[in-house]
Amino acid sequence: MTDAPGARGTARPATPHPHPATAGHPTVLTGATVVLPSGTVENGRVAIEGTRIARVEPENAQVIDVTDHYVIPGFVDIHNHGGGGASFTSGSAEDVLRGIHTHRLHGTTTLVASTVTGDMDTLARRAGLLSELAEQGEIAGIHFEGPFISPCRKGAHSEELLRDPDPAEVRKLIDAARGRAAMVTLATELPGGLDSVRLLSEHGVIAAVGHTDATYEQTVQAIDAGATVATHLFNAMPPLGHRSPGPIAALLEDDRITVELINDGTHLHPAALQLAFHRAGAHRVAFITDAMDAAGFGDGRYWLGPLEVEVADGVARLAADGTIAGSTLTLDRAFQRAVAVDGLSVEDAVRALSATPARLLGMSDRIGSLEPGKDADLVLLDAAFELKGVMRRGEWVVGPQLG
């Protein structure tokens, strides 16, 4: 997705609300409903010292009363193409940082930057830039969505740039990412697909089944070869059928698979979301945004590679044929919808937005839950699940808004 010349939006990203009195200062949040791995604690306390959650409340800490609020772990987004008018696929490092910051304002404290289909040389160069940001700790890795996907299920990807998943070309992207490749989405039924899955698994990169026209049997083969993620389950794949169950049934039934869900009210009917949760459970669901440039920015015209995208009423579609082209979702909205509309428990929503994606990235020792020694990444929500504060590594990105 690109922020090519001519891209425009009618809004601007929100500005941070700093809380300078507590920035970097030992802090204790009191009176909150705190969601912990062991359960929810009423009238709880969370202590922060430096960049970490403290086991013992530090001396001279500033105490902030957050009664009637929830404190939950920072959100982890493993599939995100941009925001704030900026794309992770094009533009400068400053543009990418603007998109990252937009999502941090909405509670996403850990983010994997996703690319879209392009020619191999362009993707390799982009991987170089994004890997530098990963080395600086700004992103948790790179996700290549395309070009190794099915033309039958291409969605908003340029068909002219698609190609079969030749393991040598997959390896080229891995090498270009300099150890920062987190995930590659492939149509594993294409020639070279299974060998590419094995290659990714050997190199510690997540192989994700997506934008696929695979049968049930072909998907089972991909899982056995090492695939562990379903890219935005239900979208860009054959529907579930009673005689031809296709990839959805195979991905839902296998405990080795984590399924991505886009909970924006557009990509999924609530019944489909409930089906995924009932079959897979919160420990196998990762809510994602699949966000594009317009997230946190506004309606208008944008570009997805050579494809023009029209965003109206917060829904992104290709101008040519109306195909959904990513989302404008932020994870605070996904959380609120999960609890207030879909009826999920707060604990299950937290797991799908924080703990499960953190585990998938191999980062559970640092992020994904509120435990002593982990990064002080947290989100403050009011009783209506509206975002009222964001802390990342002990610093307020959005200072507490309590009045």
Burial group, residue 124, by CB count within 10 angstroms (0-12, 13-18, 19+): middle
Q: Cβ distance 95 to 8 under 8 Å?
A: no
State the Cα angle at 34 between 33 and 36, rounded to 5°: 145
By the 8 A CB rule, do 108 and 77 touch?
A: yes
What does the pLDDT look like over 207-216, one tens digit per residue?
999 999 999 9
Q: CA 79, CA 91: separation in Å to the nearest integer?
A: 19
For the cut 70, the answer to whether the pLDDT of residue 224 exceeds it is: yes
Helix 246-253 crosses helix 270-280 at what angle (to 10 degrees)? Answer: 40
Phi/psi at 65 (5° precision): -85, 115
With cut-offs at 50, 70 and 90, classify the pLDDT of residue 23: low
Buried b / exposed e across 295-320, counting CB within 10 Å, b at 16+?
bbbbbbebbbbebbbbbeebbbbbee
Q: What is the pTM of this model?
A: 0.93
Higher pLDDT, 157 or 182: 182
Taking the C-alpha atoms of residue 18 and residue 295, their distance in angstroms, rounded to an integer, is 22
Interatomic CA distance for residues 140 and 142, integer angstroms: 7
Range with the poorest average pLDDT among 17-21, 87-91, 397-401:
17-21
Q: Is the pLDDT of residue 11 over 50?
A: no
Q: Greater confidence, 3 or 162?
A: 162
User: Using 50, 70 and 90 to split pLDDT, how confident is the model at 33?
Assistant: very high
Task: List the one residue out of 380, 382, 378 whose CA is nearest residue 110.
Answer: 378
Q: How far is residue 109's CA from residue 119's CA, in Å, rounded to a whole number?
A: 30
By percentage, how much of the chain surpasses pLDDT 70?
94
Contacts of residue 377, Cβ cutoff 8 Å, sequence gap at least 6: 73, 74, 109, 110, 367, 391, 392, 393
Adjacent-strand bridge partners of 110? 76
Q: Has 290 been annotated as catalytic?
A: yes
* Least confident segment among 74-88, 168-182, 317-331: 317-331
Angle at Cα 298 formed by Cα 297 and Cα 303, nearest 5°?
Answer: 85
Taken in order 312, 318, 320, 321, the sign of the CA dihedral is negative
Q: Which of 264, 290, 342, 377 is catalytic?
A: 290
Q: Where does the pLDDT of residue 16 fall: very low under 50, low under 70, confident under 90, or very high at 90 and above?
A: very low
pLDDT per residue as tens digits for the range 108-139 = 999 999 999 999 999 999 999 999 999 999 99
Question: Tokens at residue 306, please?
Answer: 């050579």
pLDDT at position 5, please?
32
Residues near 51 by beta carbon (within 8 Å), at least 6 away in sequence: 375, 376, 393, 394, 395
Residue 163: φ, ψ to 5°: -155, 160
| Band of pLDDT at residue 95, cut at 50, 70 and 90 | very high
Question: How many beta carbons lie within 10 A of that of residue 329, not counting itself?
Answer: 30
Residue 180 and residue 191 in contact, taking contact as beta carbons nearer than 8 Å? no
Amino acid at 376: A
The pair of three-digit structure tokens given for residue 195, joined into one six-digit string: 């060998």
CA distance 64 to 400: 9
Split at pLDDT 50, 70, 90, the class of 24 is low
Q: How far is CA 160 from the centre of its chain?
A: 27
Banded model confidence at residue 2, pLDDT cuts 50, 70, 90: very low
